[in-house]
Structure 1
Amino acid sequence: MADLYAQIINAVQPISPNHLFFLEGNWWATSFDEHLRSIPTQKENIVYTFHHYWKSPEQGAINYILSMREEDQVPLYLGETGENSNSWFYALTKLAEEQRIGINWWTHKKIETTTSPLSAPFAPGYEAVIKYWRGDGPEPSGEAAFRGLMEMAQYLDLDSARVNRGLLAALFDPEYGTVQKPFKGHEVPGIINAADYDLGNQGVAYHDSDHWAVTGNPGGGNSGRNYRNDGVDIEPSTDPNGFAYNVGFTERFEWLEFTVDILHEGVYEIDVRGASQSGGDRTGPDIIFSLDGDRIGEVEIGNTGGWQQWVTKQTRTPELTAGTQRVLRVSFADREVNLNRMTFRLVSTTQREADEIPAEPELLATYPNPFTEVVHISFSTPEPVTAVAVLYDVLGRQVYQADEASYSAGSHEISMPGLALAPGVYVLRLMLDGPGLSKTITRPLVATK
């Protein structure tokens, strides 16, 4: 390697005396022997470039090359690194900035990835070609293979790629290591998906026992390899009443935090979608909920018979005060569980809010919106009413009607489960009739796949 470098430098320098040379070491650019370091040339034209993968992001791991920089008076460039978790990216970025080392992340875009700033979708035709090459599928025709390749080329367009927001925050947000920020807007009452915890570093927005890979081998971080690139383990979910992804591989003392806006004071019931194949004889809470540091509920998921055998467990909160930017923490106990989502339903208002019930019926919330299979409708009424909720498409055709029911004065919730609607815009009509009132409230809703 040193002889090749010397030949290249000797050929270029007479023509371009100020040409800059980046010299990589041996062993995947991690070893710089005395032969490479003794190439006869002007040191001011040399940069040592190295790689750093799956090792500690702390200074001790690069002291060998810092010493070499000092001894040879040659600048350093970290020419290739990445393939790790956001917490590792954040720590290594800080280290490189502190040590005045240039850095290049590998790479800016890959197919179906969490470890790059951009992720391109896998084109179905191209995926069929890959499966054939791996021996996992039939041989496609030449025409089909060409179409798949061209389709994949189109999918690599920036407009088709998904932006991995958490990774970009780890690289560029100066507050990433100290301030948690919402990954998605969460409202209570409403649905909160476990995988949609806040943006922020390990110990800021979440705590995971294995949040990066530092053993010299790939691994660590997100063991599920899906959706996000933190230490939190996220995998595809088959929960028919849940989100497409669930948090899993949980361990004792791990936790997630969510920034939430509590819209109404009162007591809430939390429906928790969980699964586990762990600890059949163990009893006690598996998941503990706290709000701004105060414990508000707990559930025992138990052994459900499989990691994707989903059940709903419930817990009831004490009275919660309304407010924005509240911090909900979800903590895990000894049993390893999978957690998909949490649905907060208002079951009773506080006396103060009951005294403040408006003179007219009010639609408090519809969630989730956009929706896939279920919509919850929260409303209040100043007097007893009969209520019915109906859903229409944009052509005015009725597509769903909830059962008519009677409600007392106060806050209530109507659910529309089992929806299987085409993606698009729909109109909700909530019709209320009582002795002294008759009112219809409308709200647009969006259905997605």
Structure 2
Amino acid sequence: MYLFLDLHAVPGGQGKDANISDYDPSKPSVWESEENKAKTAALWKKLAERYRNSPWIGGYDIINEPNWNFTGTHPNGCDEKSNAPLRDLQIRITKAIREVDQKHIIIIEGNCWGNNYEGMFPLWDENMVLSFHKYWNMNTPQAISGMTSLREKYNVPVWLGESGENSNVWFTEAISLMESNHIGWAFWPMKKVDNIAGICNVKMNPDYAKLLDYWKNGGTKPSEKLAKKALMQLAEDYKIENTEIRRDVMDAMFRQVHSDATLPFASNRIPGYIPATAYDLGKNGSAYYDRDTANYRIDTGIDVVWNSGNQLRNDGVDIFWNKADGFYVGKTEAGEWLKYTLDVSKNKDYILLLDYRNDSSQVKNISVSVNGQEKILQLEPGRNVFQNQHLENIPLHKGKNIVVLKIMDEGILLKGFSIQ
């Protein structure tokens, strides 16, 4: 496994986006200070001296997501036509690295968060890669046509150096697009704090939550002792053995890129209880169907939340949690469905008990399909509490069986079902 070193925040800051760099408007940026430029080049030379003989270093990504308006009007450099200061600094950094390391790949990024390469050619080194970043847009050939055109015109490799922050559906689409165009990719990042969109979830510790609340809202300043304890606990929680592995994210990023097949999310042994959230692993339209599945806001202008409850899984299914009920599927719309692969112990006619909530004043319907045989359950109105409705004489055979729950009337909440 290769490690790519990425200078994420250069001395003085490389852009005005505070999420990316440490730019302070009251001080000169890297573009406005000869001292900051010299520091940046010197830092890279020192890094290259240290890692020049390391076989596990893949390369040096020398300036992460520069975003600065040198001559244009866009505050983040998206309309720049020359990018001369950016090109000059990256040439300077490359020369500093090559003084001590002639082997490793030099990775450069364009302006506008790494995507505007106007004025960056001709290239100045024989071992270079163009990196681009991709977020919240469509996963079509047109979306990457600018980079593939540069690859063909200048005979230079391109690499998706950063991506993510979206749903499993978007991940599968994006990676499929990259691999079908022979473009390598890296995601940002694999480990996240209390977030469903990473392979590894890091739990928020209470002391760190207090720090975040203070930084955001003010109030009583936490003690130095508490702050240190919070951050050291967070560092401990980032060890991979202490994280929660998100199997659904991993499945979407690797298996689903090459397969439309579904797999059981859990063992789902029958007789037993199946949580509504234990629907199969797989693509939208194969393991489940939901109407809101990914965020394409850059192209559509619509900021979609694919899992409105932001709990447990990163698919389009809306999963919620509360202390009284635990996890449940909500915000359902007519036509949406969930598929479950069951492991049945023996041939038998079973009873299915659906654990649901119907907060309206009207009877609502749900389709229950068992191995292709459909039955309709009428769900009585409730009092904002989960209740049961049953189906009798459900024939199941030993081994693999399939149950599909299809929403016929929107607003039904599903906690799970038991089959006995």
What TM-score, normalized to structure 1?
0.68
Mapped partners of 2:272, 2:257: distance in 1: 28
Mapped partners of 1:159, 1:227: distance in 2: 18
Q: Tell me, what secondary structure is at the counterpart of 2:311?
A: coil
8 A Cα contact 1:12 1:19, kept in partner:
no
The C-alpha deviation readout for 1:187-221, integer Å capped at 9, x for no partner, is: 23211100111111111111111111122276442
8 A Cα contact 1:274 1:338, kept in partner:
yes
Length, aligned pairs only: 332
Partner of 2:241: 159
Mapped partners of 2:273, 2:172: distance in 1: 30
Partner of 2:312: 227
Name the CA shift for 1:301/1:47 in 2 (closer, same or farther; >3 Å).
farther
Mapped partners of 2:386, 2:243: distance in 1: 34
Partner of 1:100: 182
8 A Cα contact 1:53 1:81, kept in partner:
yes
For 2:400, give the aligned amino acid.
Q
Name the CA shift for 1:291/1:175 in 2 (closer, same or farther; >3 Å).
farther
The C-alpha deviation readout for 1:255-288, integer Å capped at 9, x for no partner, is: 111111233444443332223445x4x4441x22
Match for 2:367 among 288, 310, 325? 288
The C-alpha deviation readout for 1:73-97, integer Å capped at 9, x for no partner, is: 1110100001111122122222211
Q: Tell me, what secondary structure is at the counterpart of 2:187?
A: strand
Partner of 1:261: 343
Mapped partners of 2:273, 2:192: distance in 1: 31
Q: Is residue 316 from structure 1 mapped to residue 391 from structure 2 by the alignment?
A: yes
Match for 2:164 among 63, 75, 82? 82
Name the CA shift for 1:326/1:31 in 2 (closer, same or farther; >3 Å).
same
Name the CA shift for 1:325/1:239 in 2 (closer, same or farther; >3 Å).
farther
For 2:374, give the aligned amino acid.
R
Mapped partners of 2:97, 2:242: distance in 1: 42
Q: Is residue 47 from structure 1 mapped to residue 129 from structure 2 by the alignment?
A: yes
**Pairing 1:262-411 to 2, within 5 Å after superposition:** 262-278=344-360, 280=361, 282-285=362-365, 287-302=366-381, 304=382, 309-345=384-420
Name the CA shift for 1:226/1:74 in 2 (closer, same or farther; >3 Å).
same
CA-CA distance at 1:102 after TM superposition = 1.2
Name the CA shift for 1:219/1:30 in 2 (closer, same or farther; >3 Å).
farther
Larger Rg belongs to = 1
Partner of 1:37: 121
What TM-score, normalized to structure 2?
0.73
Q: Is residue 252 from structure 1 mapped to residue 252 from structure 2 by the alignment?
A: no
**In angstroms, what is the RMSD of aligned CA positions?**
2.3
Partner of 2:77: none
Mapped partners of 2:103, 2:323: distance in 1: 60
Q: Tell me, what secondary structure is at the counterpart of 1:110?
A: strand
Name the CA shift for 1:73/1:158 in 2 (closer, same or farther; >3 Å).
same
8 A Cα contact 2:307 2:314, kept in partner:
yes
For 2:368, give the aligned amino acid.
F
8 A Cα contact 1:289 1:331, kept in partner:
yes
**Pairing 1:130-149 to 2, within 5 Å after superposition:** 130-135=212-217, 138-149=220-231
Q: Is residue 58 from structure 1 mapped to residue 140 from structure 2 by the alignment?
A: yes
Q: Is residue 68 from structure 1 mapped to residue 150 from structure 2 by the alignment?
A: yes
Structure with greater proportional helix content: 2
For 2:90, give the aligned amino acid.
Y
CA-CA distance at 1:329 after TM superposition = 0.4
8 A Cα contact 2:175 2:257, kept in partner:
no
8 A Cα contact 1:50 1:78, kept in partner:
yes
Q: Tell me, what secondary structure is at the counterpart of 1:143?
A: helix
Mapped partners of 2:161, 2:313: distance in 1: 25
For 1:129, give the aligned amino acid.
L
Mapped partners of 1:218, 1:198: distance in 2: 27
Q: Tell me, what secondary structure is at the counterpart of 1:203?
A: coil
Q: Is residue 169 from structure 1 mapped to residue 251 from structure 2 by the alignment?
A: yes
Q: Tell me, what secondary structure is at the counterpart of 2:217?
A: coil
8 A Cα contact 1:54 1:218, kept in partner:
no
Partner of 1:21: 106
CA-CA distance at 1:24 after TM superposition = 0.6
Which runs of 5 or more residues in structure 1 are unaligned? 346-449
265-274 or 119-128, which moves further after superposition?
Answer: 265-274
For 1:316, give the aligned amino acid.
L
Partner of 1:363: none
Name the CA shift for 1:7/1:142 in 2 (closer, same or farther; >3 Å).
closer
Mapped partners of 2:111, 2:120: distance in 1: 9
Partner of 1:192: 274
8 A Cα contact 1:271 1:312, kept in partner:
no
8 A Cα contact 2:292 2:304, kept in partner:
no
8 A Cα contact 2:340 2:404, kept in partner:
yes
8 A Cα contact 1:13 1:19, kept in partner:
no
CA-CA distance at 1:295 after TM superposition = 0.9
CA-CA distance at 1:322 after TM superposition = 2.4
Q: Is residue 179 from structure 1 mapped to residue 278 from structure 2 by the alignment?
A: no
Q: Tell me, what secondary structure is at the counterpart of 2:390?
A: strand
Q: Tell me, what secondary structure is at the counterpart of 2:261?
A: coil
For 2:311, give the aligned amino acid.
N
8 A Cα contact 2:172 2:256, kept in partner:
no
Runs (4 or more) in structure 1 with deviation over 6 Å come to none
Partner of 1:214: 296
Name the CA shift for 1:170/1:67 in 2 (closer, same or farther; >3 Å).
same
Mapped partners of 2:258, 2:267: distance in 1: 18
Same amino acid, percent of matched pairs: 29
Name the CA shift for 1:160/1:301 in 2 (closer, same or farther; >3 Å).
farther
Mapped partners of 2:257, 2:233: distance in 1: 39
Q: Tell me, what secondary structure is at the counterpart of 1:229?
A: coil
Partner of 1:381: none
For 1:342, give the aligned amino acid.
F
Q: Tell me, what secondary structure is at the counterpart of 1:105?
A: coil
